[in-house]
């Protein structure tokens, strides 16, 4: 009896090709686990390697920061130059390219001039104030101590408390002065040398960063197109559109928060300088720089700048210190209620509680950089999560009454791309609602691979 050999149907999936992705995934997971274990065993070397890499590409990050901060000025100047240059060259592409080069060059040169002006005018004034403080501090402390002693001698309780505190602190302070300062002179010299090297590195990063900024601003459309190509290759078109749309929103949030706060702080610093000059307060340039720089920090910036400035004035003249405190309070009220809403506005879209939470979290984890960037970063993440959750609930076929209770609008924004695909939700809903009798049977795999 002749047996016929059954051929495997072309529609039957092959186990070889079905199991290959699983085996590849298992291999990749195992390889990643081994690499991660190796990195943990050599953590110090890995950390040193990444520090060297970051130090080498620090000018690139500086250039990216400059390009992001200067882009609005370049765009504004380019709009004014595009029309006359297009009429002159009678070629829109050539005129646009020339306008971009001229606007970028003028903006970068203006920034260089501002930095040079800052080092020529402000830095010597601030350095002179610091030198004056170092020279006058012993006399001011002596006068302040004499005043306190006179007040204490007239009160027996204060005299006893002052003697107790003085006796308690005298020995620790003397030991710290002898062992902490005199014996660690070499350490202080090392700190001074590292500070000088840090200053040279700062100048190097600024110079190279400005050059990188120039090339980034000229070819920003090309870099954006390259990033868009990568997104559309890796993701579905609707999700790539969604990411690009959210990146535009994040750009608006960061630009309004950072650039607006920098402009606000510059104005506050200038107003503070004018005010302290009128009040004849000592060290006007130093105090204005302290107040203006710390004003960039949300919530805690005014206090961080006002406290050391008040102490400086207090050592010189207590009456002027009182006037200075009143002036700072009035200046901060003007900033919070009038200037900041006009410049920054409510574009961040973050409730006050979450703003304070973001400031505390960012400052605790990343220090000064976290204080500066914590609020806009958290605002972007907050709005991103909120929009994803709202969009997911809209597709979940909840009743309009439930969506209204949750504060979600039932209709979608027609101009905003969606992260989720409505067809996928319709298919999932159809599978869930499908009767059990209509569920298709699974295809049995062949018992033998030929």
The H-assigned helical ranges of 317-421 are: 318-334, 340-343, 352-394, 400-405
**Highest-confidence range of 11-15, 29-33, 44-48, by mean pLDDT?**
29-33
Give Dmax over CA atoms of the chain in angstroms: 128
Confidence of residue 274 (pLDDT cuts 50, 70, 90): very high
Residue 1: which H helix or E strand, with range? none
Domain that holds residue 135: 67-234
Token look-up 């902490």 returns 180
Distance CA(245)–CA(325), nearest Å, equals 46
CB 252 within 8 A of CB 328: no
- As a whole number, mean pLDDT of residues 286-290 equals 86
- As a whole number, mean pLDDT of residues 38-61 equals 86
Q: Would you state the pLDDT for residue 346?
A: 57
pLDDT tens across 356-395, in order? Answer: 888 888 888 887 778 888 888 888 888 888 888 888 887 7
Checking if the pLDDT of 429 tops 70, the result is no
Q: 388 lies in a domain?
A: no
Q: Would you state the pLDDT for residue 97?
A: 83
Q: 138 lies in a domain?
A: yes
Q: Would you state the pLDDT for residue 439?
A: 47
Q: 197 lies in a domain?
A: yes
- Tell me how many domains the chain contains: 1
Angle at 127 between CA 121 and CA 129, to 5 degrees: 100
Phi, psi at 139, each rounded to 5°: -65, -40
Checking if the pLDDT of 428 tops 60, the result is no
Q: Would you state the pLDDT for residue 450?
A: 43
Distance CA(283)–CA(312), nearest Å, equals 8
CB 307 within 8 A of CB 272: no
Checking if the pLDDT of 449 tops 80, the result is no
Checking if the pLDDT of 334 tops 70, the result is yes
CA-wise closest residue to 246 among 447, 73, 380, 437:
380
Q: Would you state the pLDDT for residue 446?
A: 46
Checking if the pLDDT of 271 tops 80, the result is yes
Name the token pair of 46. 């890995």
DSSP-based three-state secondary structure for 441: coil
Confidence of residue 72 (pLDDT cuts 50, 70, 90): confident
Torsion of CA 330, 332, 334, 339, to 10 degrees: 160
Name the token pair of 310. 């008040």
Q: Given CA atoms 208, 214, 220, 222 in this order, what sign does their dihedral have?
A: negative
pLDDT tens across 295-320, in order? Answer: 888 777 888 888 888 888 887 778 88
Q: Is residue 256 classed exposed, middle or buried when 0-12, 13-18 and 19+ CB atoms within 10 A define those classes?
A: middle
The per-residue pLDDT of the chain, averaged, comes to: 77
Q: Would you state the pLDDT for residue 160?
A: 67
Q: 286 lies in a domain?
A: no
Confidence of residue 448 (pLDDT cuts 50, 70, 90): very low
Q: 389 lies in a domain?
A: no
Q: Would you state the pLDDT for residue 326?
A: 92
Q: Would you state the pLDDT for residue 109?
A: 92
Q: 221 lies in a domain?
A: yes
Confidence of residue 327 (pLDDT cuts 50, 70, 90): very high
Distance CA(410)–CA(406), nearest Å, equals 11
Distance CA(211)–CA(63), nearest Å, equals 7
Checking if the pLDDT of 31 tops 80, the result is yes
Q: 292 lies in a domain?
A: no
Checking if the pLDDT of 27 tops 60, the result is yes
The H-assigned helical ranges of 13-91 are: 15-41, 43-56, 58-89
Q: Over pLDDT 70: what percentage of the chain?
A: 72
What residues contact residue 14 under an 8 Å CB cut-off, 6+ apart? 449
Q: 114 lies in a domain?
A: yes
CA-wise closest residue to 313 among 126, 144, 124:
144
pLDDT tens across 135-188, in order? Answer: 666 676 667 667 766 766 666 666 666 666 666 665 665 565 555 555 555 666
Q: Would you state the pLDDT for residue 392?
A: 80
Q: Would you state the pLDDT for residue 239?
A: 85
Q: Looking at beta carbons, which pairs linking 187-196 to residues 24 or more positions away fall under 8 Å?
A: none
């Amino acid at each position: 009896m002749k047996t016929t050999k059954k051929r495997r149907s072309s529609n039957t999936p092959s186990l070889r090709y079905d199991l290959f992705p699983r085996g590849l995934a298992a291999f990749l997971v195992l390889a990643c686990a081994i690499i991660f274990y190796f990195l943990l065993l050599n953590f110090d070397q890995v950390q040193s390697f990444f520090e060297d890499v970051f130090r080498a590409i620090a000018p690139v990050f500086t250039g990216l920061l400059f390009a992001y901060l200067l882009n609005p000025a370049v765009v504004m100047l380019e709009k004014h130059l595009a029309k006359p240059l297009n009429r002159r060259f009678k070629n829109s592409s050539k005129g646009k390219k020339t306008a971009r080069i001229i606007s970028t060059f003028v903006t970068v040169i203006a920034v260089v001039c501002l930095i040079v002006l800052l080092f020529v005018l402000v830095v010597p004034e601030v350095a002179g104030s610091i030198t004056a403080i170092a020279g006058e501090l012993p006399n001011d402390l002596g006068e302040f101590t004499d005043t306190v002693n006179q007040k204490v001698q007239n009160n027996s309780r204060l005299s006893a408390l002052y003697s107790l505190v003085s006796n308690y602190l005298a020995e620790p302070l003397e030991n710290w002065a002898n062992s902490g300062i005199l014996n660690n002179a070499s350490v202080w010299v090392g700190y001074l040398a590292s500070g000088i090297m840090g200053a040279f590195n700062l100048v190097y990063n600024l110079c190279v960063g400005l050059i990188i900024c120039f090339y980034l601003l000229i070819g920003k459309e090309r870099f954006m197109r390259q990033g868009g190509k990568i997104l559309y290759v890796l993701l579905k078109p609707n999700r790539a559109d969604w990411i690009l749309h959210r990146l535009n929103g994040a750009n608006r949030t960061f630009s309004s928060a950072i650039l607006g706060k920098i402009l606000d702080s510059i104005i506050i610093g200038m107003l503070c300088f004018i005010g302290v000059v009128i009040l004849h307060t000592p060290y006007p340039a130093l105090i204005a720089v302290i107040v203006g720089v710390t004003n960039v920090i949300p919530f805690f910036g005014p206090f961080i700048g006002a406290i050391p400035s008040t102490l400086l004035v207090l050592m010189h003249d207590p009456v002027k210190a009182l006037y200075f405190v009143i002036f700072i309070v009035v200046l901060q009220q003007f900033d919070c209620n009038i200037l900041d809403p006009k410049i920054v506005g409510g574009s961040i879209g973050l409730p006050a509680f979450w703003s304070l939470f973001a400031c505390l979290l960012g400052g605790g984890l990343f220090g000064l950089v976290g204080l500066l960037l914590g609020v806009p970063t958290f605002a972007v993440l907050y709005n991103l999560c909120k929009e994803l959750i709202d969009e997911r609930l809209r597709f979940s076929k909840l009743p309009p009454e439930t969506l209204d209770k949750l504060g979600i609008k039932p209709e979608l924004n027609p101009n905003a791309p969606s992260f989720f695909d409505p067809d996928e939700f319709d298919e999932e809903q159809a599978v869930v609602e499908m009767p059990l009798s209509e569920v298709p049977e699974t295809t049995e795999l062949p018992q033998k691979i030929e």
